[in-house]
């Protein structure tokens, strides 16, 4: 029975609450952090479980009144309401009982690169980055640019940012892939629509202990930072390029004036890329990997089209089309799109 499956979560939440009230535990910062993390992870299903058990009890109590000549009509109406609530809670609990992506609560590295389309692709890369920053603001997340390279028109050839907050990866993980834009560039005198592309990668932030790198496997090159248009902006060799020799994965960083800071940032991003590479390798060996439902996240896969002349956003993985693209770009509110992607993934996971 479903009630039996959720009772362990309710019991465990009580155990955690008791442990957190113990002075011996409160003096152990590491233990407190682990308990609070576990408490947060099971809170929603424990609360839903308690509501479900109370609803089952209410249904049984109300059933005894169905034959009452005076209260029968009211009881039947109440029973319909209780049964509807029971079904809704069952659906929610079944969703919450689905296997969790272990990365869902992680922060992310967001990488956006201009693809085909020249300067127009770079301009849309900047537009897309602003969209994600607005969405981060709406969700209460913090976005920090780690590295950026601009083109001559003020767009981005590449921008890498760290986005921190609760459940960032859980909502952003389906954004990886190719984003296609169709619009009339400002420089287009004939009013012709151009098609450009931007690639997005979403990498979960990892702890140092999760990815071990042999220093002998790294090649570290230092060079002089270059600014917009290629001119030198630094008279010292502060820019850093780190290459992981076994995989060929390379990260360059030059935004900081300090070589040490650039090296630290590059190493963090390198670890995230290696972690993602290993995750993809493991999941590709499985018949059903965690992202197969709505796309692999591969940057070569076209996932979405932004058609400005038609004011249309289309997500090709789930067939969702919204005719309010300009509003979405300005507000940054991607919840309707992301909620649909999550719902599709969960529905496919159920069966």
Q: Please say if the pLDDT value at position 217 is more than 70.
A: yes
Residue 288 falls within a domain, yes or no?
no
What pLDDT was estimated at residue 77? 92
Per-residue pLDDT band for 236 (boundaries 50, 70, 90) equals low
> What is d(CA 175, CA 295) in angstroms, rounded to the nearest whole number?
10
Domain boundary among 96, 124, 150: 96
Q: Output the pLDDT for position 224.
A: 78
Do 189 and 309 fall within a single domain? yes
- Could you say which DSSP state residue 245 is in? T
Cβ atoms of residues 174 and 205 within 8 Å: no
Find the mean pLDDT for residues 255-263: 85
Who has greater pLDDT, 320 or 101?
A: 320
CB 295 within 8 A of CB 317: yes
How far is 88 from 99, CA to CA, in rounded Å?
20
Which one-letter DSSP state was computed for residue 77? H
Range of the domain at 66: 2-96
* Residues 121, 152 contacting (CB under 8 angstroms): no
Q: Are residues 89 and 220 in the same domain?
A: no
What's the CA gap between 277 and 128, in Å, rounded? 24
**C-alpha–C-alpha distance, residues 333 and 171, integer Å:** 12
Count up the domains in the chain and report the number.
Answer: 3
Q: Does the residue 17 lie in any domain?
A: yes
Same domain, yes or no: 176 and 313: yes
**Residue whose entry in the numeric block shows the structure tokens 């955690």:** 16
Which residue carries 């408490």 as its tokens? Answer: 39
Whether the per-residue pLDDT at 164 is higher than 70: the answer is yes
Q: Tell me, what's the pLDDT at 285? A: 54
Rounded to a whole number of angstroms, the CA Rg of the chain reads 25
Q: Which of 262, 283, 304 corresponds to the end of one domain?
A: 283
Asked whether the predicted pLDDT for residue 337 surpasses 80, the reply is yes
Residues 16 and 164 in one domain: no
Whether 289 maps to a domain, the answer reads no
Q: Mean of the pLDDT values across residues 293-304?
A: 60
State how far the Cα of 346 lies from the Cα of 26, in Å rounded to an integer. Answer: 37
Report the pLDDT value the prediction gives residue 33, as an integer from 0 to 100. Answer: 87
302 and 198 within one domain: yes
Do 41 and 71 contact (CB within 8 A), yes or no? no
pLDDT tier for residue 291 given thresholds of 50, 70 and 90? very low
Domain-terminating residue out of 256, 283, 310:
283
Q: How would residue 9 be classed by pLDDT, with cut points 50, 70 and 90?
A: very high
Tell me what pLDDT residue 277 has. Answer: 86
215 and 272 assigned to the same domain: yes
Q: What is the pLDDT of residue 3?
A: 86
pLDDT of residue 351: 58
pLDDT value, residue 151: 87
Residues 147 and 220 occupy one common structural domain: no
CATH classification at residue 201:
3.30.70.1660
- Tell me, yes or no, whether 330 and 199 share the same domain: yes
29 and 137 co-located in one domain: no
**CATH code where residue 233 lies:** 3.30.160.20
Considering the domain boundaries, does residue 166 fall inside one? yes
What is the chain's mean pLDDT, rounded?
Answer: 87
- Taking the whole predicted model, whether its pTM rises above 0.85 is answered as no
Does 16 share its domain with 117?
A: no
The per-residue pLDDT for range 70-84, each reduced to its tens digit, is 888 898 999 999 999
Model confidence at 68, pLDDT cuts 50, 70, 90, reads: confident
* pLDDT for res 105: 87
Q: What is the dihedral of CA 213, 216, 219, 225, to 10 degrees?
A: 70
């Amino acid at each position: 029975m479903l009630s039996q499956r959720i009772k362990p979560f309710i019991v465990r939440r009580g155990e955690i609450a008791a442990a957190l009230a113990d002075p011996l535990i409160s003096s152990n910062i590491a233990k407190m952090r682990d308990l609070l993390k576990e408490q947060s992870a099971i809170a929603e299903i424990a609360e839903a479980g308690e509501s479900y058990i109370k609803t089952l009890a209410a249904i049984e109590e109300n059933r005894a009144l169905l034959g009452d000549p005076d209260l029968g009509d009211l009881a039947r109406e109440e029973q319909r309401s209780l049964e509807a609530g029971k079904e809704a809670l069952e659906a929610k609990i079944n969703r919450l009982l689905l296997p969790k992506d272990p990365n869902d609560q992680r922060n992310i590295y967001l990488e956006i690169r201009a693809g085909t389309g020249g300067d127009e692709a770079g301009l849309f890369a900047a537009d897309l980055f602003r969209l994600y920053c607005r969405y981060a603001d709406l969700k209460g997340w913090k976005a920090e640019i780690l590295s950026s390279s601009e083109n001559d028109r003020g767009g981005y050839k590449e921008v890498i940012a760290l986005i921190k907050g609760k459940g960032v990866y859980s909502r952003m993980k389906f954004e990886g892939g190719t984003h296609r834009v169709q619009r009339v560039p400002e420089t287009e005198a004939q009013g012709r629509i151009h098609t450009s592309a931007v690639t997005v990668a979403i990498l979960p932030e990892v702890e140092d202990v999760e990815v071990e790198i042999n220093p002998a496997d790294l090649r570290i090159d230092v060079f002089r930072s270059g600014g917009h248009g290629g001119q030198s902006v630094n008279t010292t060799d502060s820019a850093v390029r780190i290459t992981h020799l076994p995989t060929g994965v390379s990260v360059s960083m030059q935004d900081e004036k300090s070589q040490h800071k650039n090296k630290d940032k590059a190493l963090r991003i390198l670890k995230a890329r290696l972690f993602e590479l290993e995750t993809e390798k493991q999941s590709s060996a499985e018949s059903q990997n965690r992202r197969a439902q709505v796309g692999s996240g591969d940057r070569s896969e076209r996932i979405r089209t932004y058609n400005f002349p038609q004011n249309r956003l289309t997500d090709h993985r789930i067939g969702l089309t919204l005719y309010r693209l300009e509003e979405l770009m300005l507000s940054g509110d991607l919840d309707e799109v992301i909620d649909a992607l999550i719902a599709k993934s969960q529905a496919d996971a159920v069966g």
